[in-house]
Amino acid sequence: MPGDDTHWLLVDISNSFTKVALARPDRLLARRKLPTRSLDAESLRRAVRGWRFGRVILCSVVPERTRVIRALHGPQLLEVSHRIELGIGIDYPKPATIGADRLANAAAVAALHGTPAVVVDFGTAVTFDIVSGERGYIGGVIAPGLEVMTDYLYQRTALLPRIDLDEPVSAVGRSTREAMLAGAVIGYRGLVDHILREVKREIAPRGRLKVVATGGYAELIARRLPALRHVDPDLTLEGLRVIAGLNLPFEGRPAVRRQKEV
């Protein structure tokens, strides 16, 4: 429900889920989530029912669903891109190709944790976004998501089942499901750990590199991976809040929160 200039509606549209949050400049107030495939004008109205806000801040990686937000909130809308103030520089050959969610993550990690830093976002793909010690977005890594890998095994083999991801009981599976869990979860930790080691070697060989994980499987992978000490499921939304504070007229600055450690 529009009408309150002291509050913002934050919208993060990813491939699987859309997250919405009501926020003030200093913090998130409420959060809701709905499947992106069902996002339309009516489902969005239901999701934000009872909320009063003056402006809408959007990051989206699904153009078809972006149009829903533009149709409903066009005059109030601020869309994340490299063209607006992010609180960081962009040192990247084609900045227009950087996903809006990745820019939001980079803005959040720089504002809330400091730099140099890496955000590891466990979504449909797992993305690594790197901010240099000079607070510049310098690039990243994209790898298949954990669920994509396990679904591929199910779809392309005759006998392997679809599995729900959970912590494996052992590195040596005593059933097909246990063997698949060990390969997926333990193997994925190895992938993430090795990429982080290589990134640190390149951008912070003698200093500390701050690493923050977010996304659906962040807590599962971080549970036994020391490199992922900080997990923040709201990091992208926090990035939208930070960016809104830099671009919309309002007194006050984004606040630094203590992050959850695992």
By annotation, the residues acting in catalysis are 101
The two three-digit tokens of residue 226, written as one number: 């020391």
The two three-digit tokens of residue 68, written as one number: 């829903």
Please state, in angstroms and rounded to a whole number, the distance separating the CA atoms of residues 68 and 75.
13
Element containing residue 11 per DSSP (H, E): strand 8-13
The two three-digit tokens of residue 245, written as one number: 């504070």
Indicate the angle between helix axes 100-112 and 235-247, nearest 10 degrees.
80
Rounded to 10 degrees, the C-alpha dihedral 233/90/64/30 comes to 30
CB atoms within 10 A of CB 206: 5
Q: Residue written as tokens 């779809």?
A: 155
Evaluate whether 240 touches 86 at the Cβ level (below 8 Å): no
Q: How many residues does the chain have?
A: 262
Please state, in angstroms and rounded to a whole number, the distance separating the CA atoms of residues 112 and 104.
12
Please state, in angstroms and rounded to a whole number, the distance separating the CA atoms of residues 148 and 257.
32
Q: Residue written as tokens 């934050």?
A: 10
